[in-house]
Amino acid sequence: MADTLENINPKLYKKIDERIVTANDENENIVDEFDTREIFDLIRNINDPEHPLTLEELNVVEQNLIENVPLQIDNRASKIIVKFTPTIPHCSMATLIGLSIRVQLLRTLPSRFKVNVEITPGTHMSESAVNKQLADKERVAAALENNHLLEVINQCVGIKC
Amino acid sequence: MGTLELKQTLSGHRGRVWNVCWHPKGSCFASCGEDKTIIIWGLQDSKWAIKTILTEGHTRTIREIAWSPCGSYIASASFDATIAIWDKQSGQFECNATLEGHENEIKSVSWSSSGQLLATCSRDKSVWIWEVTNGDYECAAVINAHTQDVKKVRWHPNEEIVASASYDNTIKLFKEDVADSDWTCIATLSSHTSTVWSLAWDKTGNRIATCSDDQTVKIWQEYKPGNDPGIVTTSNEPVWKCVCTLSGYHTRTIYDIDWCRTTGLLVTACGDDIIRIFKEDSDSDPHQPSFTMVCTMDTAHTQDVNCVQWDPTVPGQLVSASDDGLVKMWFYNE
């Protein structure tokens, strides 16, 4: 990435505890709907493009910002909105981070889900431009055909060993 | 309310299907998608089946295809920044010309009604006009009027006027200036508040329907100089006004719209997986038209509907394409 770090000394946040597996979770006869914790677990370990830290540690994603809005015609959750907060308001990586979140959810969730990835309102100077780009599936599709960009995204979404 | 009857589900593509296009005679149609192939479908024992699969014309996603008005050529627009022209002169479809020039992804391609002109548009913000002479394609103009990614180009049904829709939220109309044979912007249609994904002319060419990421459909009416309602025009060019906005129907981005030239029905393809049909009210005022949603097909596909197109010859028949990898044939009954 860039030679110099944009955000030299980011503030670190505590990670949340591991999910506690309940008896119901292990019961095959109970249908487990996707919940916010499950979605959060899919994206919390995405790496920041700039720092050897996860989006959770940088507070870019938080569990309470994810809301499942059920589709009116189908009460099973089919729509997911993820809001993410760039570490600094002029972060040039905002689109890349949003794209990584989107790619991770596209790859891991069933195709019926409609995923919206947006910047937390008021946390970035180019908020609407970044949101518009992330919402444009044609441009996202074209970006994912770019091998260099795909490599960078794969590095971000790859879980660290 | 009318009903939309599913006639057939067609699978053949791997991955997202971006576009479908009817042959001008309606006897067959083509589809394309992220698998970089074009499939030509035709009727076989009253069922739609794969007639031909065209491969190796493009190295990336094929975003759109267009049949020439004579039905002998197919132009395909690809993310690989080229346009391929396929013809059947040897008896089977072959790619015999590749048009290069755009800087990056080509989003749309359209033939003029005469078949003498081709328009293309790209992520590079430009619209190109190509002149077709005896199988040769020459760039006649590069138009840099939009400020963002251009999503769609569509020619007027019988005049040499092309409309383009863009990520910059506007629709622009272009025409050749006879004085200096330069292509110039003759109108900018501003009202949508987000990306305009597609547009459709009505059969007369006096109206355009557009659809957008702002979840609305807009109807635009042309007012020529000296028009009855007294709409002011400048420099002897017609002005276009938004005379109707259909809002509150769609719940996500509207990716495509088509205006049937025989029935006058509008159909939309939406990111909420629904196909909707709108009909103009019979007592509608032409300067303030009203449309009623006459049909809504929930879960028409299991993912975003990317494209819908009315059959040019069989009224009520339409074909759709989706991210779910399927093409579906429908029939609308009033």
Q: What is the mean pLDDT of residues B61-85?
A: 97
Comparison of pLDDT for B139 and A30, the residue scoring more = B139
With beta carbons under 8 A apart, name residues in chain B contacting A142.
61, 79, 104-105, 123
Three-point CA angle B324, A154, A47, nearest 5°: 120
Q: What is the Cα–Cα distance from B129 to B101, expressed in whole angstroms?
A: 11
Residue of B nearest to A71 (CA): B272
Note whether B60 contacts A: Cβ–Cβ < 8 A: yes
B168 interfacial to chain A (CB closer than 8 Å): no
The span from the CA of B252 to the CA of B272, in Å, is 6
Q: Are strands A74-84 and A114-119 parallel, antiparallel or unpaired?
A: parallel
CB B71 within 8 A of CB B30: no
Using alpha carbons, select from B217, B219, B113, B124 the residue that is nearest to residue B167: B124
Contact between B210 and B178 (Cβ < 8 Å) = no
B157 residue type, one letter: P
Report, as an integer, the average pLDDT of B146-150.
98
Position A37 scores a pLDDT of 80
Rounded to whole angstroms, the Cα distance separating A150 from B34 reads 16
Q: List pLDDT tens digits, range B175-220.
A: 999 888 899 999 999 999 999 999 999 999 999 999 999 999 999 9
Q: How many residues does chain A have?
A: 161
> How close A72 gets to chain B, by Cα (Å)?
10
Which of A73, A138, A141 lies closest to B298 in CB terms? A73
Contacts of A145 in chain B (CB under 8 A): 60-61, 79
- At residue B290's C-alpha, the angle toward residues B288 and B293, to 5°, is 160
User: What's the pLDDT score for residue A67?
Assistant: 52
Select from A128, A133, A138 the residue whose CB has the most chain B CBs within 10 Å, as the one to mutate to test that interface.
Answer: A138
- Least CB–CB distance from A141: residue in B61, B302, B324: B61
Q: What sections of A1-126 are H helices per DSSP?
A: 23-26, 36-43, 94-108
Instruction: Report the C-alpha gap between B17 and B115 in whole angstroms.
Output: 26
- Averaged confidence pLDDT in chain B: 96
CA dihedral B248, B250, B251, B256 (to 10 degrees): -150
β pairing state of B217-223 and B207-212 = antiparallel
pLDDT above 80 (res B66): yes
Dist CA B264 CA B251 (whole Å): 24
**Do residues A34 and A78 make contact, with C-beta atoms less than 8 angstroms apart?**
no
The alpha carbon dihedral of B99, B169, B155, B317 has a sign of positive
Residue of higher predicted confidence among A27 and B30: B30
Give the pLDDT of residue B26: 87
Evaluate the CA torsion angle B138, B141, B143, B144 in order and state its sign: positive
pLDDT band at residue A72 using 50, 70 and 90 as cut-offs: very low
pLDDT at A65 over 70: no
pLDDT digits (tens, 9 = 90+) for B28-59: 999 999 999 999 999 999 999 999 999 999 99
Judged against a pLDDT cut of 90, whether residue A6 lies above it is answered with no
Nearest-CA distance from A33 to chain B in Å? 19
Question: Looking at the DSSP assignment, which residues form a beta bridge with residue B246?
Answer: B217
Q: Are B15 and B326 in contact (CB under 8 A)?
A: no
What number is the ipTM of this complex? Answer: 0.93
Nearest to A142 among B16, B79, B252 (CB): B79
Instruction: Name the token pair of B188.
Output: 């900018």
- pTM for the model stands at 0.93
Q: B320: part of which helix (H) or strand (E)?
A: strand B317-322
Distance linking the first and last C-alpha atoms of chain B? 7
Residue B87 has pLDDT above 80, yes or no: yes
pLDDT of residue B89: 87
- The per-residue DSSP string of B246-285 comes to E-SS-SS-EEEEEE-TTT--EEEEETTS-EEEEEE-TT-B
Report CB contact under 8 Å: B195, A137: no
The share of chain A scoring above pLDDT 90, in percent, equals 42
